[in-house]
Chains A and B, each alone.
Chain A
Amino acid sequence: KQEVTQIPAALSVPEGENLVLNCSFTDSAIYNLQWFRQDPGKGLTSLLLIQSSQREQTSGRLNASLDKSSGRSTLYIAASQPGDSATYLCAVHPPEGYNKLIFGAGTRLAVHP
C-alpha cells in the first residue's frame, strides 16, 4: 500500500530564507507526483507536476525534484516571502494511471517578516 510522508510537519522561517520541503513515498512505481498549496480553509492550488520520466520542474521561485528510485521528492522555495505561508501537500498518482491521488499530511509553513 502506497504511503506518503512529509517532513517536517511544520516550519517557521524568517523572510528571505531558502527552504526545502521533503516528501517520501513507499512505492517507487508512480505515474507522476504533484505539489499543491493550501491556504487555511481553502481548496488546493496546483504548484508543480513532475511526470515519472522527469527529474525536476521549475516555476518561478519554486523547484521540485523527483527521485523515483529512492522514493523522494523535494520542493525548494527560494527567497521565501510572508505570502508563501500556507500548507504544502505532495501527492502521488499510482502507476495504473491518474484515477486518484495519494496525499501526504502536508507541511505547514509560516514565513515571518
Chain B
Amino acid sequence: DTGVSQNPRHKITKRGQNVTFRCDPISEHNRLYWYRQTLGQGPEFLTYFQNEAQLEKSRLLSDRFSAERPKGSFSTLEIQRTEQGDSAMYLCASSNLGVNTGELFFGEGSRLTVL
C-alpha cells in the first residue's frame, strides 16, 4: 500500500503521560500536514512541513505539542503531559508541491483517548 500510513491507530493513555504518533506520507510527496478532529466536527489544521521545514503552526498547537520531520520523510507528533481535552483523532495528510491542484491525501488517523 502506497498511501499515507499512521501509527499507532489507537492510543489510550492516562492524563499526564506523553504520547507520540508517527506518519509516513506518500513517498514522492514533499508536503506533510497534521490535523486534529474531535467528534462531530471537521478536522482542524495543526501544522505543516515542506520537506523537513515546519512552515506553519496553528494557535491550536500549544507548547505541549511538538512535530518533527527530521529527514523530510516521516513525521512525528508528540504530545507531552496529555490532558483529557487532547482526546481526538489526529490525522496526517500529504501532498505534492509539484502538482498544482494541491490535492491532499489523508491517512487513517491515530485516535487518542486520555483517561
Contact = CB atoms under 8 A, between A and B. Distances in A.
Given A98-B95, A100-B45, A103-B43, A36 B102 contact: no
A68 interface: no
Contacts of B33: 100
Contacts of B31: 98-99
Interface stretch (A11-19, A38-46, A58-66, A74-82): A38-46
A73 interface: no
Interface string B86-115: 000001010100000111111111010000
B44 to A, nearest CB: 7
Contact of A44 (B40, B44, B48, B91): B91
A32 B101 contact: yes
A105 B40 contact: yes
B85 interface: no
A36 B107 CA distance: 12
B26 to A, nearest CB: 12
Interface string B1-37: 0001010000000000000000000000001010100
Size category of the binding interface on chain B? 20 to 34
Interface of B: 4, 6, 31, 33, 35, 40-45, 48, 55-56, 58, 91, 93, 95, 101-109, 111
23 contacts: A43-B6, A43-B106, A44-B43, A44-B91, A46-B103, A46-B106, A49-B101, A49-B102, A49-B103, A89-B42, A91-B43, A99-B55, A100-B45, A100-B56, A101-B35, A101-B43, A102-B45, A103-B42, A103-B44, A104-B42, A105-B41, A105-B42, A106-B42
Interface of A: 4, 31-32, 34, 36, 41-46, 49, 51, 89, 91, 93, 97-106
Top 4 closest pairs, chain A to chain B, by CB: A98-B102, A103-B42, A44-B106, A100-B45
